[in-house]
Structure 1
Amino acid sequence: MRTEKQSKRRNGIQTVCRDFNHLEGNLDHIDERKLLRKMDLRLMPMLTLLYLFSFLDRGNIGNARIEGMEEDLHLGGTQYNWALTVFFFTYTVFELPSNLILQKVRPSIWIPSLMVAWGTVMTLMGIVTNYHGLLIARIFLGATEAGIYPGVAYYITMWYSRHEAQFRQALCFSAASIAGAFSGLLAFAIGKMNGVGGYSGWRWIFIIEGLATVVVAVMSYFFLYDYPDTASFLTRDERAWILRRLSLQFSNNGNVVPEAGDFKWKYVWDAAKD
């Protein structure tokens, strides 16, 4: 059953699309390239930054190991490898539920909230005292980070057509390479804080990078936009133009399909079977 908030937004989208039909002859002034650049400048930097911190936080355990984490926590045998592996158990399981929630919750609320959650987990990882504490922290880190990759991919499709979304997703996910390029240098610098506050250098890697994630997450509450039909940086004509184009990509005959974005459990099952 569709919620009242969803129905209100659906009605708003249909109104904007009707406006487009009414104004279609007067929208020749819209420059597609200029509008796409406008969207890119407003959306892509923040999305790329979010994914950069995600990859930075999931991979910094290797730098912490170099700074003495393994010895301080008395890890032996395959314990370090298990600490790496359990992350992906919850990461895999929670990807799909996260995107289902994103269908119900505004992106500007859900995506930053995920970031606050994993930033908090990362910060607390800096105070674990044994193997089991590290294991539990990694499990929760996987659960909280799970939604960022599929969430960003889905969010981009709310704004761009399919042939445009592929390039934007590639740009966004290239942040993983950027994170890998300087994460070691950053960890080396933070490791020099060894002994500050009675904490080892590897603990400060988790604490500082975790707190930085939370700060960026709080910023993204104010800089992340929800949908094209509610974006304040777009004009009325630009909103209608974007929504009309997104609707047409689901149609075989060139007609708008207003219900193309409706959620059905059948789609979830189809994806699970694929």
Structure 2
Amino acid sequence: MSVSRTLRALGGKGMTPLRVGATPVPHAEILDHVRGRLSAQGIDLRVEIFETYDELNELVAEGKLDANFFQYLPFLDVFNRETRADLVPVVPVHIEPFGLYANRIDCLDAIPDHAEVALPSDPVNVTRALAMLDDLGLIECPVTVDEVATTADVTANPRGLLLKEVSSALLGDLRDDFDVVFLFGNQAMGLGVDTGTALYCDRGNPAYAEYLVAPRWSMGNPGIRALAGALQSESTRDFIRTAYAGQLVVAF
């Protein structure tokens, strides 16, 4: 179960609170950047930071958070379909790289037979990882649009790769335990890993833009509208480009 690490808020008297859940890097940092703009509009942006994303959608669906900022549309679609929730994407903000990393291998061609590969275990991201391995010719695992896959769907594995699905939150800690590990951009940056060192990296794919997400019934909330505007401002565009030195792609 994920645990809120900290709460960042101004607590200004007479201000309207807006509770947003986010993962630390870069989501909470981007939210921190727009805090002053919202404060000037009488909104106290309260950012609750979670080390993992296990509960973030549930907390928004239950009304315990007003919105969250951590996910892309395929992940949100699966959550809504499985829980019958009605969370909606408000605005896209940025796109993070997703890649293959190794501590002892310096290129894809050097991946040995029977290498141990750690993949994220949630349905959306294991599907994305398997599709990447298929595209790179390392396995055969045809994946169609709107379909989820598991390692059981691999139809050919000529190198005999040992594919293991593990909790996404653990991937960053397993780089010494596996030959190859998939890492999300936020994980790599949080660990100080340059995404340019990846064996292969998917960058700038608009299908995986990260969105501010809120309940459909809250779309008229002035705070949500103000936050959406702030996240898609020129100031935020410049912040993303400067603070992350090209490791993130602006999605608006």
- Which range, TM-score by smaller chain? under 0.3
Higher share in strand: 2
Tell which structure's C-alpha radius of gyration is larger.
Answer: 1
TM-score normalised by the chain length of structure 2: 0.25
Higher share in helix: 1
